[in-house]
Amino acid sequence: MTHSILLTPNMKLRNHSVLGIQNLHGKIVYVHTALEDIPHEQLTNDTGFPQHILADFFSPDFSQHTQVRTIGTRGKKTLFSGHSACYIKNQRLFLNTLNFAFPNPNQYNPFAKVFEITDSEIREVGESPEPINREYSSKKTYSFGDYILRMASEWKLECRSADTDALIWELRLTAWLYSELEVKNGILYFGTAGKGGHFYGVLLEDGRVIFDLNTGGTTRVVWINDYLAVTDRKDDLVLLNPEDGSEVKRFHFKRMRMSTYGLLVGSCFYTVLADKKEIYKTYAACLEIE
């Protein structure tokens, strides 16, 4: 069964992004930001559109729902969703609007604040600390016991011996590496995107491809209980057997696009659905996996 609730039912939007999903004191919290539109007759050359930070609190079964938000700011600074981070610290929920640094910071004017989020308010508590540099998976070196893995070139993944640096195997990809590399029970899992994209299961010891699924693009490896979860070209959520990549269960959402970004609590997976035609019409969704 699936439960879903529209996050911004009474707002006309120019942009909308979910920043994080967290479990706070037994409530499921969706933190998001919305850039609100204004009537055309009020537009001027200096118009600043109101940008809100919102938090929706749900009971686990979605039967109860409340929302808190900030008053929309119209300053020249912008909250960039890809550079923010939500996190729990000492059983309190925070949003850092500038957690990750920009490669060329002088080209941007980011909003850099830390907020604490409760079910009654979103309160500014300070300036963002020095942002950290994001390390992309395609530039990383991964160590799994006796095996060292990295992208030797734009399209080639290689595995070397940790002791001798000798090449053990290499695998040519058809798109860019976007997900992290992850190993479980001797199998390496990762996804590619751009120019299409695939999801792979590869034997770590010799590089033999166990499965290669043409998903259209996989940017995160997500585990739901003992299954791997990916979205495919139909925008369905598909649960896979991690041993051979075979399909175990499929969730289909008519006219909806789904992100595998989400939070697993018990047998429920909390995620985000977006309308394919009205791109800023975003829903909080609860999927009952079992």
- The H-assigned helical ranges of 162-206 are none
The candidate with the shortest Cα–Cα distance to 115, out of 63, 70, 78, is 70
Number of domains in the chain: 1
133 is a domain residue: no
Predicted TM-score (pTM) of this structure: 0.90
pLDDT of residue 146: 96
116 is a domain residue: yes
Radius of gyration of the chain (CA): 21
Read off φ and ψ for residue 218, nearest 5 degrees.
-130, 120
Element (H, E) at 72: none
170 is a domain residue: no
Element (H, E) at 20: strand 13-24
269 is a domain residue: no
Range of the domain at 69: 2-127
Mean pLDDT by 10 residues, the chain (290 residues): 83 89 97 86 70 95 95 80 96 97 83 96 96 93 98 96 98 95 98 92 98 94 91 90 96 84 90 88 90
149 is a domain residue: no
Side chain identity, residue 59: S
Three-class SS state of 260: strand
257 is a domain residue: no
Q: How far apart are CA 198 and CA 216, in angstroms?
A: 6
23 is a domain residue: yes
The candidate with the shortest Cα–Cα distance to 56, out of 47, 64, 65, 48, is 65
pLDDT of residue 1: 58
pLDDT of residue 38: 78
pLDDT of residue 74: 65
What secondary structure letter does DSSP report for 106? Answer: G
189 is a domain residue: no
pLDDT of residue 42: 66
